[in-house]
Structure 1
Amino acid sequence: MEKTCLIKEPQKKQKLNEEDQDIDENNKCLGDLPEEILRHILSFLPTKDAVRTSLLSKRWEYLWASIPNLDFGRSFPAKRNLLMNFVERVLCLRDSYAIKQFTLSCDVLHDASRVNRWISAVVRHNVQELYIKLDNFKGKFSLPYCLFTCKTLISLHLRMSYILKLPTTICFSNLKTLTIIKVTFSDEYLTQQFFSGLPVLENLCLKNCSWKGLKFVHLSAPKLHSLSITELKWLNLSYGDGCQIMIFALGLKKFDYFGELFNEYCLYKSFSLERAEINVILDNASAQIAHRMYKLLIGLSNVEVLSLSLEVVEALRDAGERLYHMPMFNNLANLVFFEGSTIDLGCVGLLRILHNSPCLKTMKFSWGISLRENDDWKLDPLPPCFLSHLKWIVVRNYDGDKEEFFAMKILLKNAIVLDEIDIYCSERLAGNLEKQVNLCKQLIEIPKGSQNCEIVFLNPWQDVVKQ
């Protein structure tokens, strides 16, 4: 045993020496790489880890100071002073290399001038992507004016629960993506200037912003492709008179709205619009909300794919005479209703949209459909799409109750060119195979306007049942 041990000992040392040699050679190979490649490698590390590489060797001591991406976000220690001093040190030691991406998330408190110096320094280093999240203001604050004329900025993400103080000169000549969260706009003229200085903007997101006291805003972005707006009640906003926001974006392809219609949004000549999602959440409908919904739908008249929440069609019940002046949706091919609530087929808002969508090909009811009218209720007059274009209907969360069956009966009887209707059973019905079979038989026995229509009864947990 001892002899065996004596024989193996040198082999083990030799192996360790070989591993050490491999590590040294790898370090040497890494150290021999050009600085441009090393900086690129360091850019994938969190900023604090990139700084730690200064301990590796003399060559690495200040290499981190020229990395293109700097991130001072949530990954830093909770102690605010450590973060503030660290940001200060990194920017002070920064060389002349440009900053591609800069992220800052911190509490401002009484250090407004200090934060402004950092942002100004980043702008001087030709920043391309800027992500700013500022909280807890303890005094006056305004972003540095040089930010609003930054020629190198391509993407700006600004989140701060504070009034945005704007300069008189604003021009983002290369800005393509803009996200603004929780910002308050208070000056009508300067806000107008801000949203008119975006000549190449392609993506705009406005989330929970407040248009404090503003009556009218004109948003002009000729190259805008995607616009997303969110406004929720937790901001302590009120319906009131609201702000009228005119959106001039002739190239707009996608529009999303999620909120409570505190303001009036008007899309002007959005001829190229392909997709729109309108998810309205309301406690109570009113004539004012119906008017805002009506104005919004006018701007969506050229859309091809439209997704709506239940509240959209319900709000239109209070539209009065406007309901009979709804726009024609001549390009609308796909109509989708979000999950959350069952859609009443007899709702006047839904019927008006169907009547004004002559080329509608598919309908999807993500949370089911019902008919609260009597069994002898008729779909009269018949929407033109039922006679010529409607080929496919999807109904989810089907439970088979009386009101749901009435709705299915109306659809099957009147959709003359329907090819297929897919019916997904509800979760409550999923475990009752006998009831599923009976419901499927009931649906098959319904007189159908289209002899080619195939009824597909689907259970996510079982096999598909076809007619």
Structure 2
Amino acid sequence: MDETAVASESKHRKLNEEQDMDAVAYNINDLPEAILEHILSFVPLKDAVGTCILSKKWRYLWTSHRNLALLEWPFSRREHFTNFVDRIIILRGSARIGRLILSCDVLGDASRVNSWVSASVKCKVEECFVDLSDIQGDFVLPNCLFTCATLTHMALSIPWALTLPSRIRLPNLKVLHLVSITFVEERSTELLLSSPVLEELNIEECAWDNLKTLTIRAPMLKFLTIRDEDFDYSSIDPYSCRVSIYGNNLESIHCMSPFLNDYRVENTGSLLKAHVSVTDCLPSRFKQLANRLCKLLKAMCSVKKLKLSSTTVNVLSSADGLYWHLPVFPNLKSLEVGCLDLKRPVLFKLLHNSLHLEKLEFGEGIKLPQNNEEDDSILDPAPQCFASHLRKIKLFDLCLCEKKVCMLELLLKHAMVLEKFMICTRWLPSEQGDKEMFCKRLLEIFCGSKNLEISFSDP
């Protein structure tokens, strides 16, 4: 083939490719706007805005983007951000909003921020996440947000007093997250936390100072998380609210708190998981706190998987004789109790009261006792589950030593049906010999189970 023919074929191929591209572009532009808007809904807002340069048809398509992430931090100047949001709100009209994420400083623009939230409600927003900071002057969220019939998810992170309207009606709200909120009034707060179809409630670092009693009645609630703010010991008992939670369908409770509030749960027969962690407290509060924890555990006795921090176990142990009143856990299959501390009899009371326990986990290592005089008698008699159900023990300890291995022997010799003993620890390359030695040492321990498998892994 001569050079002229090659050049002609190349030109022809290039022309066909350009025609194909034009055809694709024409076919996309020829699609109905509803389909184009649906395609754009999968594109980040910033990229969707960039499509306005494609053609006249695409110029304003981005304004109907269903998911709006309005974040102030990428903008170099505040006026650029506020003008950008204003433009979006004006241009989109009444186009529905699937998800709104608004994160910005309020400063002196309270009315402007409220107008953005109100506009999203008019656009029948389904998921609304509002993260505000640097509030100056009075600030109250618009009432319409709390009567939005289309709202299914709402998250509010506002370091400010949450003034709520007397009328709250959120018939489709399934997920509610509140962060850094200061609760103001009991009745309106109860209405917000007791939405009829609410399934997930997360209350994080909120202030309860203004409340004395609070009742949460959410019949469909499945997942409850409470993470209280740190306690300032310079003040004396700044708040003590009695919080009653009625959860016929509760499956999971996660409570990390200094328990200045008295949390009580009722009707938790469907509870699957519970995590109770005391974050911090003064010794002067141990007795009060131990009583609150004991009542809370009694209310959760039907749980199947329970996690208690070491501090929680220590507080329960601090009140003389209180641990004898711990409930029986007939359904408990998995128990995590912080560190393995043979000087904490509350741990072994829990084991004796967990008749069908299958898995035992120590997530905070082994605490060595000061002496070993009474260690051998602590598991005598051994918990019933050791002989019938306990099949797996998992231990996290970054510094395994000979004394700790001796403590493990007390557990292993009573574990009659144990199948797996997993040890998560850290070994330096120079300590491989120690790893082999400890593994051999553990295997040589007299163990009640004949089918025990011991394994090491990195944390």
AA matched with 1:307: K
Write the distance in 2 (CA, Å) between the matches of 1:101 and 1:445: 59
- Counterparts of 1:241-320 in structure 2 under 5 Å? 241-282=239-280, 284-285=282-283, 286-320=286-320
- CA shift digits 1:9-50 (9 cap, x unpaired): 666554544443333222111101121110011112232432
- Counterparts of 1:102-121 in structure 2 under 5 Å? 102-121=100-119
Does residue 447 of structure 2 align to residue 436 of structure 1? no
Q: Look up the SS of the partner of 1:210 in the other structure.
A: coil
Write the distance in 2 (CA, Å) between the matches of 1:82 and 1:236: 43
Shift of 1:421: 4.1
Check conservation: 1:182, 1:207, Cα contact below 8 A: yes
Check conservation: 1:247, 1:268, Cα contact below 8 A: yes
- CA shift digits 1:165-203 (9 cap, x unpaired): 01111121100011111111021232223223x000011
Moved more, 250-259 or 161-170: 250-259
Check conservation: 2:425, 2:458, Cα contact below 8 A: no
Does residue 386 of structure 2 align to residue 386 of structure 1? yes
AA matched with 1:222: P
Give the number of aligned pairs: 452
AA matched with 2:148: C
> Measured at CA, do residues 76 and 455 of structure 1 come closer, stay the same or move farther in structure 2, by a change above 3 Å?
closer
- CA shift digits 1:132-178 (9 cap, x unpaired): 11111111011111111111111111111111001111121100011
AA matched with 2:56: K
Which residue is 1:34 aligned to? 32
AA matched with 2:298: I
Shift of 1:302: 1.1
Write the distance in 2 (CA, Å) between the matches of 1:386 and 1:371: 22
Write the distance in 1 (CA, Å) between the matches of 2:433 and 2:14: 70
Moved more, 281-290 or 130-139: 281-290
Q: Look up the SS of the partner of 1:328 in the other structure.
A: coil
Which residue is 1:397 aligned to? 397
Q: Look up the SS of the partner of 1:107 in the other structure.
A: strand
- Counterparts of 1:199-278 in structure 2 under 5 Å? 199-233=196-230, 240=237, 241-278=239-276
- CA shift digits 1:196-250 (9 cap, x unpaired): 3x00001111111111231211111110111112124288996715222111111
- CA shift digits 1:111-138 (9 cap, x unpaired): 1111111111111121111111111111
RMSD over aligned CA atoms reads 2.7
Q: Look up the SS of the partner of 2:86 in the other structure.
A: helix
Write the distance in 2 (CA, Å) between the matches of 1:375 and 1:421: 29
> Measured at CA, do residues 456 and 430 of structure 1 come closer, stay the same or move farther in structure 2, by a change above 3 Å?
farther
AA matched with 1:70: L
Shift of 1:256: 1.4
> Measured at CA, do residues 236 and 396 of structure 1 come closer, stay the same or move farther in structure 2, by a change above 3 Å?
closer
> Measured at CA, do residues 122 and 457 of structure 1 come closer, stay the same or move farther in structure 2, by a change above 3 Å?
closer
Identity of aligned residues (%): 36
Which residue is 1:365 aligned to? 362
Which residue is 1:329 aligned to? 329
Check conservation: 1:398, 1:423, Cα contact below 8 A: no
Check conservation: 1:265, 1:295, Cα contact below 8 A: no
Shift of 1:455: 4.4
> Measured at CA, do residues 429 and 289 of structure 1 come closer, stay the same or move farther in structure 2, by a change above 3 Å?
farther
AA matched with 1:185: F
Q: Look up the SS of the partner of 1:49 in the other structure.
A: helix
Which residue is 2:176 aligned to? 178
- CA shift digits 1:412-466 (9 cap, x unpaired): 2222x32324142631477434333333343334333x242414142559xxxxx
Which residue is 1:410 aligned to? 410
> Measured at CA, do residues 446 and 123 of structure 1 come closer, stay the same or move farther in structure 2, by a change above 3 Å?
same
Structure 2 unpaired stretches of 5+: none
AA matched with 2:96: A
Check conservation: 1:280, 1:311, Cα contact below 8 A: yes
Write the distance in 2 (CA, Å) between the matches of 1:351 and 1:300: 18
Check conservation: 2:216, 2:244, Cα contact below 8 A: yes
Moved more, 28-37 or 432-441: 432-441
Check conservation: 1:72, 1:105, Cα contact below 8 A: yes
Which residue is 1:465 aligned to? none
Check conservation: 2:72, 2:81, Cα contact below 8 A: no
> Measured at CA, do residues 239 and 19 of structure 1 come closer, stay the same or move farther in structure 2, by a change above 3 Å?
farther
Which residue is 1:458 aligned to? 456
Write the distance in 2 (CA, Å) between the matches of 1:69 and 1:272: 36
- CA shift digits 1:358-385 (9 cap, x unpaired): 1111112234335525154212343222
Write the distance in 2 (CA, Å) between the matches of 1:284 and 1:413: 38
- CA shift digits 1:73-113 (9 cap, x unpaired): 25742321111111111111223332222121111111111
Structure 1 unpaired stretches of 5+: 462-467
> Measured at CA, do residues 32 and 390 of structure 1 come closer, stay the same or move farther in structure 2, by a change above 3 Å?
same
AA matched with 1:358: L
Check conservation: 1:206, 1:230, Cα contact below 8 A: yes
AA matched with 1:434: G
Write the distance in 2 (CA, Å) between the matches of 1:244 and 1:429: 50
Shift of 1:314: 1.1
Write the distance in 2 (CA, Å) between the matches of 1:264 and 1:233: 16
Write the distance in 2 (CA, Å) between the matches of 1:455 and 1:48: 54
Which residue is 1:464 aligned to? none
Which residue is 2:347 aligned to? 350
Which residue is 1:446 aligned to? 445
Check conservation: 2:337, 2:347, Cα contact below 8 A: no
Write the distance in 1 (CA, Å) between the matches of 2:236 and 2:21: 67
Q: Look up the SS of the partner of 1:183 in the other structure.
A: strand
Write the distance in 1 (CA, Å) between the matches of 2:316 and 2:265: 18
> Measured at CA, do residues 400 and 80 of structure 1 come closer, stay the same or move farther in structure 2, by a change above 3 Å?
closer
> Measured at CA, do residues 78 and 180 of structure 1 come closer, stay the same or move farther in structure 2, by a change above 3 Å?
farther
- CA shift digits 1:235-278 (9 cap, x unpaired): 89967152221111110111112343342221112110101222
AA matched with 2:438: L
Q: Look up the SS of the partner of 2:220 in the other structure.
A: coil
Check conservation: 2:94, 2:122, Cα contact below 8 A: no
Q: Look up the SS of the partner of 1:233 in the other structure.
A: coil
